[in-house]
Amino acid sequence: MTFDRSIKIAPSILAADFANFGAECAAVEAQGADWIHVDVMDGHFVPNITFGAATCAAIRPHIKGVMDVHLMIAPVDAYIEDFAKAGADVLTAHVEAGPHIHRTLQAIRGAGMKAGVALNPGTPASAVSELMDLVDLVCVMTVNPGFGGQKFIDMTAKIKALREMIGDRPVHIEIDGGVDPKTAPLVAQAGADVLVAGSAVFRGGSVADPAPYGDNIRAIRAAASGVWA
């Protein structure tokens, strides 16, 4: 994984056909996705359950690029090795998931993955100010985590504060929740480079008819780059 700040579109498979993850990942990659975002939920940290490391391992061979795993689970540490074995490139834990996020991030890097830290909408940027040298990605939630298809919450001031905190470090700012061609320019201008989008990518298409995925990805990318498609 090389670092740059160009806009990267990361479709969230939370909005894909759960009976067909492998083909869905291949389809969105063929249609221009940069990363694949994989949402792991435990029904405890968030009020919804998706799947775990075994499912990530099963879909890994169907992803050519970056597998970006977003853990919405607590506790985290006991599962880090499982996600490394499953082939996660980026593993993101929530700063709210426990008292020892510093140890968690060290363990993620120690297991050979890029480390991400995510912030819920109610958590200030200052909650991660001591972690900047331990992370490769900061994920700003623009919805309360747990479900796809929710309304975007404006976190522009937080994104700008994080961008300043990051300085010259090779740390991505990822935005997760309610990203579409209308909201993408706001977050891109504030300093984000990885845009997660579930419903706004998968709507209108399917594995049998994937062209709408490409239209949707291009529309978000163009909007984020300041060119309305």
- Applying CB under 6 A, which residues contact ligand DX5? 12, 14-15, 37, 39, 70, 143, 145-146, 148-150, 176-179, 196-200
Which tokens sit at 116?
A: 């991400």
Q: Which residue is nearest to Zn ion (CB)?
A: 70
Among 68, 89, 136, 176, the one annotated catalytic:
176
**Closest to ligand DX5 by CB, 39 or 136:** 39
Which tokens sit at 204?
A: 């209108």
- State CA 199 to chain mean position distance: 14
Shortest CA distance to 173 belongs to which of 10, 15, 24? 10
Mark the segment that binds Zn ion (CB under 5 A) among 38-46, 80-88, 165-173, 202-210.
38-46
Q: Which of residues 61-90 bind Zn ion (CB under 5 A)?
A: 70
148 binds, among ligand DX5, Zn ion, none (CB under 5 to 8 A by kind): ligand DX5
Per DSSP bridges, beta strands 90-94 and 66-72 are parallel
215 is catalytic: no
Whole-number minimum distance, CB 57 to ligand DX5, in Å?
A: 20
Burial (Cβ within 10 Å: 0-12, 13-18, ≥19) of residue 98: middle
User: Does 176 interact with Zn ion (rule: CB under 5 A)?
Assistant: yes
Cβ–Cβ contacts within 10 Å for residue 117, how many? 25
d(CA 197, CA 185): 13
176 is catalytic: yes
Query: Which residues are catalytic, by number?
Result: 39, 176
Q: Which residues bind Zn ion (CB under 5 A)?
A: 39, 70, 176
